[in-house]
Each structure stands twice: as C-alpha cells, then as structure tokens.
Amino acid sequence: MLLAGSLAVAWLAIGSPQPAAGTTWFTVHKIGTEAHLTDAPGQPFYFLALGNDGRTDADPGLGDAIHVIGVNPATGDASILDVPRDTEAPGGGKINAFHAGGGLPSIANQLNRMMGITISYAVTTNFPGFVSMVDEIGGVDIDVTEPMFDHDSGTEFAPGRYHMSGDSLLAFSRDRKSYPQEGDRQRTVNQGKAIIAALATLRAQNPGAAGTAKLTVTLARHVRTDGLDLSQMYELGRLAMAIDPARIKNVVIPTGAGAGTNLSVAPAAQDLFADFRDDAILQNH
C-alpha cells in the first residue's frame, strides 16, 4: 500500500506514465462508491493491505497476509491490526478464502463486519509481484529478533539486522514453523513488521525529486487500479509518506480455538476493535 500510494506523489508532475504497462506487481481497489480520504480532525481512515498466495496474475489466491491499517491524518499516528489467515470470518469459514472467492471487496466486507469499520481502499500483491517490488526499491532493512530457520519458507536468519531482497523478505513474511506455539499468529505479526520496515526504508532513502520521479515511473508501469483516479492516488501517496514509522503500532488480534483448524475471534478482540475504530489510534493496546 505504501508503494502503491507513494508512486503517485510525483505522478502528476511527470506526465502521468501509463499504468500497468508492464507486469502487474499490485492492484489498488477503491471499496464502495463513497470511499474517500479525509483530512478532517479526528476522522480516521482505514485501508487493507493484503498479500495473496497467487503465483500468477490469473490466480486470485487466498488472502494469506491480512493487515487492516488505520491512519489518523490529524495526529500522524497509525495502527496495524494483523489478522491471522485462519481466523473465522463473520460470514463463516476462514477469512482468507473470501479473497479467492470474491476478491478485495469480498474480504474487505468481512473485515468491516468483524471490526465495525469502513475500509475505503485495499491493495493486494502476489508472490512474484511482492518480490519484484522489494527488489526494485533496493531491498528493505529489517530486524530479526529471534532465530528463524524454516526449510519450507526458506528462512535462515540468526538474530540481527538484515538488508533483505524480495526473496528474503518473502521468506521472512511466510515463516511460521520457527514458532511452534504461535506459528500463524507470529507470522502475521512479522508481516506487519515488514510493512513498517518498508516505509522506514523508503523514508531513509530520501531520494529527492529526481530519484522519486524515477521510482515513480518504474512503479507506475506495474500498478493496476480499480475505481481510483490520479488525484486519489496522489492523496494516498501523500498520506503514506507522511507517516512516521515510529508512530505505528502493530498488534495481532486476539484469537482462540475455533471449528477444526479455524481460529475464533476471541472476546477480548472487541475491546481492541473499539479502540481502533474510534480514531485509528490504539491508546489502550
């Protein structure tokens, strides 16, 4: 979402490069006809950043990396609620299946029902799109806080700070077997950490007008939009790049045992959702 928005900051100034002229890295979808950004004091703004497990653009994929992000434009604070992929949806079944069945609007609707919010925009990327995006911006700096060794995801990380390529960051974001007790939940938290690290890396580069324009032209060739115009993309970018990573809280929702391998939404989640939806700032969590 940060990349999808930030590419538009210089878009209007450099002649509106043709969107999706190359392979698609990510898709940005406007949810509902009334969706808009607001800069009214105290009014939060919510969007969905979703990674799907598709291997090609023709495969919608399951929504396996689910992150609802709330931003308070008045204060510059933001919060990420991480939703494990096996969480039970209000409509029944695992919530990740709603993306495969109905795309971004379908899974956004389930999250709206779960949290009592209104998601205005959503973005998704698949495996190859994610890897290409990260490599194009030159990698992402991220801290690994405990050993991660998972043959299936491809992680081989001792604790420390890493400059990760797209393949490495994808492995980091997929690893659940390094956490025997909290596998799916910890993986979801790590994905939120990757979002924050990507923003911090982009802001630290401070590329200037020329560098930003070059990155913008490159990224614009690989974005597909649905229901957005250039002015809305510009506002998304302006909002994204104004967020200080140090002012973003990253919290996984409370879950319990559900039917089969599902995770139920635990009763404690309701207090978290209330704290989130009033102003997008987690004062009590």
CA angle 65, 72, 122 (to 5 degrees): 35
- Under DSSP, the state recorded for 282 is -
Share of the chain above pLDDT 70, in %: 79
Query: How many structural domains are present in the chain?
Result: 1
Q: What is the pLDDT of residue 186?
A: 92
285 domain-assigned: no
CA separation for the pair 26, 135 (Å, rounded): 14
Q: Which residues pair with 149 in a beta bridge?
A: 156
> What's the pLDDT tens digit per position in 84-121?
999 999 999 999 999 988 888 999 999 999 999 999 88
CA separation for the pair 231, 229 (Å, rounded): 6
**Residue 158 burial (10 A CB sphere; 0-12, 13-18, 19+):** exposed
Amino acid identity for residue 95 in this structure: I
Q: What is the DSSP string of 203-239?
A: HHH--HHHHHHHHHHHHHTTEEEES--HHHHHHHHHH
User: What is the residue whose two structure tokens read 């495996």?
Assistant: 127
148 domain-assigned: yes
CA separation for the pair 150, 174 (Å, rounded): 9
245 domain-assigned: yes
Mean pLDDT of the chain, nearest integer? 82
* Mean pLDDT for back-to-back runs of 10 residues, the chain (285 residues): 49 44 73 56 80 77 90 90 94 91 90 94 87 88 95 95 95 92 88 92 70 60 72 67 88 87 92 95 90
208 domain-assigned: yes
Other beta carbons within 10 angstroms of residue 250's beta carbon come to 21
pTM for the whole structure:
0.86
> What's the pLDDT tens digit per position in 128-159?
888 988 888 889 999 999 999 999 999 999 99
- Shortest CA distance to 81 belongs to which of 114, 57, 103, 54? 114
Range of the domain at 58: 2-279
The separation between CA 91 and the C-alpha centre of its own chain, rounded to angstroms, equals 22
The separation between CA 198 and the C-alpha centre of its own chain, rounded to angstroms, equals 10
CA separation for the pair 173, 153 (Å, rounded): 9
51 domain-assigned: yes
284 domain-assigned: no
212 domain-assigned: yes
Write the CATH number for 54.
3.40.630.190
Amino acid identity for residue 24 in this structure: T
Which residues are CB-contacts of 70 (< 8 A; sequence separation ≥ 6)?
44, 45, 46, 78, 79, 80, 81, 117, 276, 277, 280, 281
Q: What is the pLDDT of residue 212?
A: 57
CA separation for the pair 64, 86 (Å, rounded): 8
8 domain-assigned: yes
- Under DSSP, the state recorded for 246 is G
